[in-house]
């Protein structure tokens, strides 16, 4: 039997990673799907834990070999995707799988597994608050901030493509609502 797929998506800064981490800490039968990326590893990140780090050439070879469930070139030569082998590995462990991915990837996984998937779009209180969160991270260059704002503006338009919308205007309430959605689904 396949486990269920809980796909949490949102623009950067909406709070999806915080919600996913909370759900992982709460439920033992849910495991995190580690995405692959071709971007550079940050100092605090570990290969196979935060991402599977591949160079762009390796990533493209895996695309050509059909090894991805979903993938996207988010920025030039910066790919992100979900390896089919990662999903199978977690199913083989008897786990439900939770994803923390972009809106296009979430939509594509839902299309691949419509009967096993719950998609949750984490909505920020407003675009202005989202942009402020991104600015306050302090991890963005002016250019990367502009790219993220442009991308977030587009991603906010995908809200109606997902099963549930979770407004993240109060974190405690959003976490409780996320728990309810997961418990109702699995």
Q: Where are the domains of the chain?
A: 5-185
pLDDT above 70: percentage of residues in the chain? 99
- For the stretch 64-99, pLDDT in tens is 999 999 999 988 889 999 999 999 999 999 999 999
What ranges make up the beta strands (E) of 4-161?
Answer: 5-9, 30-32, 36-37, 52-53, 68-75, 78-83, 96-101, 117-123
Contact by Cβ (8 Å): 7, 116: no
Domain 5-185 sits in CATH at: 3.40.50.300
List, in sequence order, every residue forming a beta bridge with 101; answer none if it has no partner.
9
Encode pLDDT of 161-176 as tens digits.
999 999 999 999 999 9
Quick one: pLDDT at residue 1?
Answer: 53
- Give, for 165, the enclosing helix (H) or strand (E): strand 164-167
pLDDT > 70? residue 127 = yes
Supply the pLDDT for residue 136: 83
**The model's pTM:** 0.89
């Amino acid at each position: 039997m396949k486990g269920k797929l809980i796909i949490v998506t949102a623009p950067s800064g909406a709070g999806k990673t915080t919600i996913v981490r909370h759900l992982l800490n709460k439920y033992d039968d849910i495991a995190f799907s580690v995405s692959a990326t071709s971007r550079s590893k940050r100092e605090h990140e570990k290969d196979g834990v935060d991402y599977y780090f591949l160079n762009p050439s390796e990533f493209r070879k895996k695309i050509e070999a059909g090894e991805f469930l979903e993938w996207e070139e988010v920025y030039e030569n910066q790919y992100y995707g979900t390896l089919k082998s990662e999903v199978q590995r977690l199913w083989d462990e008897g786990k439900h799988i939770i994803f923390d991915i972009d809106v296009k990837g979430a939509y594509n996984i839902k299309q691949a597994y419509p009967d096993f998937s719950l998609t949750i779009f984490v909505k920020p209180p407003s675009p202005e608050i989202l942009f402020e969160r991104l600015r306050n991270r302090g991890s963005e260059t002016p250019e990367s901030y502009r790219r993220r704002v442009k991308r977030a503006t587009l991603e906010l338009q995908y809200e109606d493509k997902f099963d549930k919308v979770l407004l993240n205007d109060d974190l405690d309430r959003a976490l409780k609502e996320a728990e309810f959605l997961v418990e109702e689904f699995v």
